[in-house]
Structure 1
Amino acid sequence: MDVIPLSQLRLGIQYCLIRVMISRVWEFRGKSDDEPVKHLDLVIIDEKKTSMYVEILADVIEILKTNLVEGRVVTIKKFIVHHARTLFKVVQHPYMIKLNRRTEITPVDPQPQNFPRHVYSLINFSDLDHYLNMTAQFLDVIGQVVAVSNVAAIKSFGKMQTKRIVKLKDLSGHIIELSLWGSRATEFQGDQIYEVGQKDAVIVLFVGTLWKSHRGETPFLSGTSACHWYINDESIPEIRNFYASLPNEVDPIEMLQLANSNNNQDEVRQKTLLELKDADPFEEKTNRFECTVTITRLTPNQKWFYPACQKCHSRTNLSGPTYTCTNKECSCTEMEYRYKLSLMGSDDTFELEFILFEQSSKFLAQMQLADDKMDIETMGDQTGSGVAGSKRPYDSTTEDSEDDDAALGTYGKRTKKQ
């Protein structure tokens, strides 16, 4: 059977043969590492450097996972081609592939030399604001690590999650912050990078991130399950070129201290609903509270969605042929519908209305009313999405190295003497 280039695939069931490199593999579990795997995701690339996104449903993973190793060239046949997803695109291709229990994956032996491996489309730091709070595609960036934090347990949108911060600087001196969440935070070799960064420059190319801002705060990159990275990888031309443009001496990497949320429990206070009702919104505007309630009913005559600004997720209004965001600091004219769930919750003291947005409303919509008690953290206009990482047992490059320098790679750009 002849090998078909990815560029020639068409919609429908395909009984043909493709030969590709498995560039990336990750598990999608939803909002938390504790949730079951919903599907396994891949990025593949062929010899003509055409890349595609591949999805494998949970009940098929065990059948196919043996040959799903990053960096391996395989042949694949018996699969189905679908239209690409409209959100969270990892590659720009009109189609995606879904594998099934009859799919056949065979490693190519011997492995071809000089087969394309990496898939990315770099965005300049100066252009990131064009993608603020947008979910149409993931973003890829490159920068020099100037600071890295420890891993800390952080409460984000009512859930405890692990988090690590990495600060990146581009060649223009612009510094941005990247937050790694869930297992991505623990997998990132922060301590090793800090040690290497005391003597040498550390350049990282991150793929699969989103540019976010919550409630008007300083924007940051967010890296969850789809996020991967390449550290001082000399096989990537952009990393080599970035390094060549650095001065002979660079500043050593700074270690940031990220506090655990359990060290700041006073920031979230327990209240009954009656106490919450009587709270002064002018005095308590910046405070956060937590209450345990039983969801009793949906608020009548309320829509379950609202017209949202595509950039900042505030409400937007139709103004002639375009939309006008109600956030005075936002000039976006694009609209998308987002979830907004209005419901009533009660405890032994009172009943109050709660309004939940997007991810929180999606989560609660899957539960039967009054079946369970749960914590609802009142955090103002909670329009952001929860984020979490995902485990990576399919990554062939995550084994611990005996030599930190060998694992990370080093260059000749030395740090300034202290």
Structure 2
Amino acid sequence: MAYVLISDLMYGDTDKRIKARVSRQWDYHDLNDETKIYHTDLVLLDEKGNSIHVQIYPPTMINLRTLLQEGKVYYFDSFSVRYANRTYRPVTNPLMISFTKWTTLEECIDASDDFPAITFSLTPFQDAPSLVDKNAFYVDIMGVITEIGATDTLRPKSRNTETLKRTMQIWDASNSTLPITLWGNTATAFNAEEIYNAGQKKPQVIIFVGTVVKNYKGIGISL
């Protein structure tokens, strides 16, 4: 089946076909109601390692999101290529894709074993302070977990309802440390017990993608 690489896409394209893996999939929902989804987002990755951000809005989202599975490779047809968002971009590609009511997909069942699966752009610990409240890109960070806190329930100033929170500490090769805070469903989805138990035998290196950097009064820098 004929297709082009992500790097071949141009602004305004509506008739291209690509072959790409769903490297990452998440929902953007109302901060006060996690059942209300505004749009579904993807990071697609092609066989050459090129990546692109995808957004799917209702009603297309309802039809397509149930057909997609993170980690699988698909052929995608009839989508719209536009300029990337100005804020909260998960990858550096200046373009992004919007799925429309004409978009179709078909799973590729014979993808090669070396087809790339994940993509990220790591930020050094020492650069985190310069990214406080910057929102052009999400921040990807890697470190060894040294501490995992329990889940707490609280009500942030930015929300009208209570939410779950879990904080942990990671450190890098220079022994610098950073706290990572997980909110909402992410706090409970994180397999803390398994990772903690594994950490008693050998260091657990973990990559967090899609974080933002904050500077909290009395706490300091946190992702």
- TM-score normalised by the shorter chain: which range applies? over 0.9
- Amino acid in the other structure paired with 2:190: F
Paired residue type of 1:127: D
Seen in structure 2, the aligned counterparts of structure 1 residues 22 and 34 have a Cα distance that, compared at 3 Å, is closer
Q: What is the distance in 1 between the residues matched to 2:34 and 2:95?
A: 31
In structure 2, the residue matched to 1:199 is: 201
Aligned residues: CA RMSD? 1.4
The residue matched to 1:120 in structure 2 has which SS? coil
- Contact kept in structure 2, 1:138 and 1:210, CA below 8 Å: yes
2:36 aligned counterpart, secondary structure: coil
| C-alpha deviation, 1:199, in angstroms | 2.1
Shift of 1:128: 0.9
SS where residue 196 of structure 2 aligns?
A: helix
Runs of 4+ in 1 over 4 A off after TM superposition: none
Which residue does 2:222 correspond to in 1? 220
- Give the Cα separation in 2 of the matches to 1:32 and 1:120: 29
The letter for the 2-side match of 1:105 is L
Say if 2:31 is the partner of 1:27: no
Question: Per the alignment, do residues 114 and 32 of structure 1 end up closer, same or farther by CA in structure 2, a change over 3 Å counting?
Answer: farther
Letter in 2 for 1:211: V
Letter paired with 1:137: F
Distance 2:36 2:3 in 1: 35
* Length-normalised TM-score, structure 2: 0.94
Q: 2: distance between equivalents of 1:171 and 1:44?
A: 30
TM-score, length of structure 1 as denominator length: 0.51
Q: In the TM superposition, what whole-angstrom CA distance separates every residue of 1:101-157 from its partner, at most 9, and x where no partner exists?
A: 211110002232110111100011011111111111101111000000111111211
CA distance in 1, matches of 2:35, 2:67: 24
Question: Within 2, Cα distance between the matches of 1:58 and 1:112?
Answer: 33
Deviation per residue, 1:67-91 (Å, 9 max, x gap): 3111101000100011100000100
Distance 1:135 1:167 in 2: 23
Deviation at 1:12, TM superposition (A): 1.7
**What pairs up with 1:113-262 in 2 under 5 angstroms?**
113-157=113-157, 158-215=160-217, 217-221=219-223
> Which residue of the partner structure matches residue 53 of structure 2?
53
Work out the number of aligned pairs and report it: 221
| Maintained 8 Å contact 2:55/2:97 | yes
Superposed, 1:15-414 pairs within 5 Å as 15-157=15-157, 158-215=160-217, 217-221=219-223
CA contact (8 A) 2:81 2:98 kept: yes
Residue deviations 1:358-383 (CA, integer Å, cap 9, x gap) = xxxxxxxxxxxxxxxxxxxxxxxxxx
Structure label with greater radius of gyration: 1
After superposition, give the CA deviation of every residue in 1:211-252 in whole Å (9 maximum; x if it has no partner). 10134740100xxxxxxxxxxxxxxxxxxxxxxxxxxxxxxx
Structure 1 CA distance for aligned equivalents of residues 102 and 217 of structure 2: 47
Three-state SS of the structure 1 residue aligned to 2:20 is strand
Structure 1 stretches of 5 or more lacking a match?
A: 222-418
